[in-house]
Structure 1
Amino acid sequence: MPHWLHKLRSSRARVWLAFGLVVVFLLAQVAWWLIFQRNTIQQNIEYAETAWLQEAALVQQLWAATAPENRQALLSELRQAFPHLEVEDDRVYVNPERLKAYRTEQMRHLRMFAYEGPFFLLVMLLGLYIIGRSLKSEQELKRRQQNFLMAASHEFRTPISTLRLLAQTLQMRELSREKQLAYLTHMSHEIDRLEDLSERLLATSRLAQGLGQIKPERHDLNQAVSRCLARQQNTLVARGVTLHLEPAPTPLPVDLDPEAFSLVLSNLLDNAVKYSPGPQKPVWVRLRREGSQAVLEVEDRGVGLSRGELQQIFEPFYRVGDEQTRSTRGLGLGLYLVKSITELMGGRVWAEALPQGSRFVLSLPLLEAQGLAPERSLA
């Protein structure tokens, strides 16, 4: 196991241990608080009952020792000093209504504490949960960034090593014209690969810094897709792709930036090819009109997606599968660029899991549905 991964897991274990201790402490503290308050209120009730009974006995003695002609004045004083006592003939006793009201008031305080304690605990646990989710997201992002650095190093090292080997071979050996052309073609492909990697990194950097700007113009989505596929036809065929294009029967006028859209479609196709492990890689590109939207679908018969990955795959640095056993190349930026650029063009994109393979759906608003002028250009 890599040292950084072991360190990350150890740090994560310590964080969750600390969270567990805090949760246990909060549960114990609230439980003790409720028990303490219940015992205290129960003691207050018992003390009040005992004290009032003692007061009633003392007042009974005072009442018996007072002359009848002085009892009226004493009664007025007793009612002010001991409102919870009642004097009836020669008997002094605790007013049961006053005692009941006192008990009710104390029990109301206990219920208040019983509600406040769990509410306090709930708020604290919710705060801890939010902090824990934030820490987990941060750790996940760090893990993906580490995976991205390793993947980027590998992605750049492979074509560079291939170019160096081919260049040294051309320098050191006399080759036939056919061999030279084959080597030069291979070198050209590797240079295209490096250029594609660099473009993705630069595009991601611009988006992260808020510099992602596009210049949308009116285009027919059918024609835009056809032009992009024509440019990539040879590369797709070389990778074993059998492409099935199903254009819409009518024009689909949308606002898009041709270069940005080309990057979007290229990433969708690259994703379909990467995760189709067989030698034959059928890919369907469909276009259709759906209400006020122009819809583009890219469908494959590859390894597919799980339900839990349908949203995560559009996050930066996320790559499908286990990082330790992954065999597919990539930086985890392609679908992030697809989502970001599509949203900049006013559209949206989502993924659908199929019984075999996956489908990516891109939706752009139709200009006709918006009643816009035939041509426009945005800064």
Structure 2
Amino acid sequence: MRHSIKLYILTAVICIVALAIVQFFLIYNTYQLLDSRFNYVEKGRIGEAYNLAIANDKLFPGGQPLLDSIIVPQYAYLENLYQTNPEDFDTAAQHLVNRIIGELVRHENADSMLKAIKTNDGIQDSLLFALCIHRLDIKFKDSQYVNIYNRFKKYPLIPAARQQEMGLYICGNLRQPGENSAASSLVANSPLPYSYSLSFSFYADPYNRRTLVLQQMRYTILPGILTLLAVVTLFGITLHKWIRQKHLSDMKSDFINNITHEFNTPITAIIVANKNIQNEKTLDNKQSVTALSMIIHRQAERLKLLVEKVINVAATEKLELKTVTYDLNELISEILAVYSLNAANKNIVFTFNSSSSPAMINTDTFHFTTLLQNILDNAVKYNDHAQKEITISIVRQKEELELVIRDNGIGMDAHTQRHIFEKFYRHQPRLSKPTKGLGLGLYYVKQCIDAHGWQISVESEPGAGSTFIIIIPSKI
């Protein structure tokens, strides 16, 4: 059984982990999809304003004169290299691109341009931006455009930090610009014999882009998380109930074993005693007959008690009370008088602190008597002292009475206290003499308490005895 529970837990944990991984990849892939399709609502306005800001210009206000001042003087030199030495042309082209990047970075004003766009258009959002060059071509006299930079290629002489996936990173704080964050993408060229063609994009994204994407995913994330939590919760509840049922099954098995032994002992004694009585020699000895008949009587009483306890297993599920108003002082005195007589040889010292005034309660006297006797039986059974001391006190608390039963027994730890009122539960302490029982005594006590609508609590520590406190509504 233990191995089956471990296998069940292992299988369930593997399934839950697998479900969590599937949920994670579902959410992650959904996030990637929504992120790739994310469209900032103000992006169109920003793109239009950007196009107007660089009308008849490139990259940013003042960008074209800066580019012209770098590229135009190099036409003749680059044309000669292109026609005579292609390898030197590639090297010179990369150096030219490096110089262009350096000058653009040094003179860029995209940040102030974006602030002006936001102010003019009334855009309140905090934005991230980036400016990237995708492609740069040069046109010589009587030739097509010659490419000197393409974002799909890597150039060893251009700093790797500037070569991003989207192209040459000129400026901005948007570190990973994507196609869906491009506010404007332009290609600027000229039909003149000596000219250059420039392809570039301006990117703009809100600072809280990730939050906005996650908000779009809320109807995916929340059901996924709630489903996973529900599965984990159901697994926990199922496992708890399974372990509880196993525990109850084990206790029932112990009960059956105990009750079988308990029944067999007096039955065997009765059979043996009866067989001896039938012996003719025994019949002639009145003293022997008397002794054997006493054995039969005691064992029959013991059988009667066992039968009553077994019947109580079913009966206590639905206790039917016949309550009468009774003075708790008198009721306990009567119970102690009978109990003391039956336990005269067990060296028990009873102390009863009765209430100074009548303590009238509504109770079923039969069930109350059995309830108190079960508590007293436990106080005697789980006690290793030569002299067993039991103190019963009635304490008046406004409209309630506290019935306190205190003993000097072995006490209980916290774990035992949590389970003592469960059916078939038996405490297994280390005692000088082994204890017998069916695990029904305190279960019956709790059933009686609940049927009366009273309350019961336990205070105990190992080696320091136990105290049962019963709260009873008073009629006076």
TM-score after normalising by structure 2 = 0.60
In structure 2, distance between residues paired with 1:235 and 1:177: 26
Considering only CA atoms, is the larger Rg found in Structure 1 or Structure 2?
A: 2
Which amino acid in the other structure matches residue 302 of structure 2? R
Residues 219 and 254 in structure 1, CA contact (< 8 A), matched pair in contact too? yes
Query: Structure 1 pair 351/194, CA: closer, same or farther in 2 (3 Å)?
Result: farther
Q: CA deviation at 1:195?
A: 1.8
- Matching residue of 2:3: 10
Query: 255-264 or 114-123: which moved more?
Result: 114-123
1:133 equivalenced with 2:240 (yes/no): yes
- Matching residue of 1:366: 474
SS at match of 1:311: helix
Correspondent of 1:193 among 276, 298, 302:
302
TM-score after normalising by structure 1 = 0.74
Correspondence list, 1:73-152, <5 A: 105-109=212-216, 117-152=224-259
In structure 1, distance between residues paired with 2:213 and 2:402: 67
- Matching residue of 1:184: 293
In structure 2, distance between residues paired with 1:280 and 1:181: 32
Gap regions ≥5 residues in structure 2: 57-179, 190-198
In structure 2, distance between residues paired with 1:160 and 1:319: 24
Query: Structure 1 pair 96/103, CA: closer, same or farther in 2 (3 Å)?
Result: farther
Residues 85 and 93 in structure 1, CA contact (< 8 A), matched pair in contact too? no
Deviations 1:262-302 (A, max 9, x none): 11111111111221134433222222322222222222222
User: Cα RMSD over matched residues?
Assistant: 3.8
SS at match of 1:289: strand
SS at match of 1:309: helix
In structure 1, distance between residues paired with 2:341 and 2:289: 20
Deviations 1:299-322 (A, max 9, x none): 222221111222311111111128
Gap regions ≥5 residues in structure 1: 1-7, 65-81, 369-379
In structure 1, distance between residues paired with 2:453 and 2:210: 66
Correspondence list, 1:1-379, <5 A: 8-44=1-37, 105-109=212-216, 117-172=224-279, 173-174=281-282, 177-208=286-317, 210=318, 212-321=319-428, 327-354=434-461, 355-368=463-476
In structure 2, distance between residues paired with 1:280 and 1:315: 29
In structure 2, distance between residues paired with 1:101 and 1:364: 63
What is the number of residues matched between the two proteins? 329
In structure 2, distance between residues paired with 1:21 and 1:101: 36
What fraction of aligned residue pairs are identical, expressed as a percent? 23
Which amino acid in the other structure matches residue 5 of structure 2? R
The structure whose residues are more often helix, as a share, is: 1
Q: CA deviation at 1:107?
A: 4.7
Which amino acid in the other structure matches residue 357 of structure 2? T
In structure 2, distance between residues paired with 1:13 and 1:86: 61
Residues 185 and 202 in structure 2, CA contact (< 8 A), matched pair in contact too? no
